[in-house]
Amino acid sequence: MNIKLKHIIVLIVLISFGSIIYGFSIKEDRLEVAHKFIGLGTIGLFLVAMPLFLFKESKGKDMKDYMLTKDNIKKMQDKERKKPENQ
């Protein structure tokens, strides 16, 4: 059984969106239950799916490339100087 992290993340996102939509659809009938579904869907998106996605996408990448260091600032300034003027 080879379930990839990508598939788990997609499943969590779909379940979270489904929970949020269901919560809004029953909001008029059962307000407290609706708030629970909306809250659980939001938690699923932002506290479960997003960190898993960030972990998956950042695997194998060097975080120094994304930090604002003197070397990286110098590289960005050099790229700006090399750009043609009409862009």
Is residue 82's pLDDT more than 80? Answer: no
Domain boundaries, the chain: 5-82
Q: How many CA atoms lie within 13 A of 23 on its CB side?
A: 17
The whole-number pLDDT of residue 1 equals 52
The whole-number pLDDT of residue 85 equals 63
The whole-number pLDDT of residue 57 equals 87
CA angle 15, 47, 51 (to 5 degrees): 100
The pLDDT tens digits for 48-68 are 999 999 988 888 887 777 788
| Cα gap 52→48, rounded to integer Å | 6
Report the mean per-residue pLDDT for the chain.
87
Evaluate if pTM is beyond 0.75. Answer: no
| Cα gap 13→3, rounded to integer Å | 16
